[in-house]
Amino acid sequence: MEKAGLLIKHKDRINSNKVTVEMSPKVCEIWNAEIVKGIFRSTLSKLSETEKEQIKEISKKITEEALAFSRQQQIKL
């Protein structure tokens, strides 16, 4: 698993079938860039136009909030 960029951190003591796996930065990058994007696109394709518009508005608000927070942090520095 280490060659694949995955590292088992610990086994859950209550549920022996559950483990915590840590991903290497490269694996995280691939996961975020490819796999999550694919899941997101697949999900979007199943939504109605109204739902897609709602997601666009939510995304816009999140981006605005993130930019405002970033500006606020820069002012504090």
pLDDT tens digits, 28-77: 788 788 888 888 888 888 989 999 999 899 999 999 999 999 888 887 76
Rg (CA), the chain: 19
User: At 57, which amino acid appears?
Assistant: E
pTM (2 d.p.): 0.45
Scan for tokens 């997601």, then name that residue. 55
DSSP single-letter state for residue 43? H
Please state the separation of Cα 49 from the chain's center in Å. Answer: 24
Specify the higher pLDDT residue, 10 or 39: 39
Checking phi first, is residue 54 left (phi over 0); if not, alpha (psi -120 to 50) or beta? Answer: alpha
For the segment 11-24, what is each residue's pLDDT rounded down to a tens digit?
666 766 666 677 78
Q: What is the pLDDT of residue 77?
A: 63
Write down the domain spans for the chain. Answer: 1-46, 48-77
Paired with 8 in beta bridges are 21
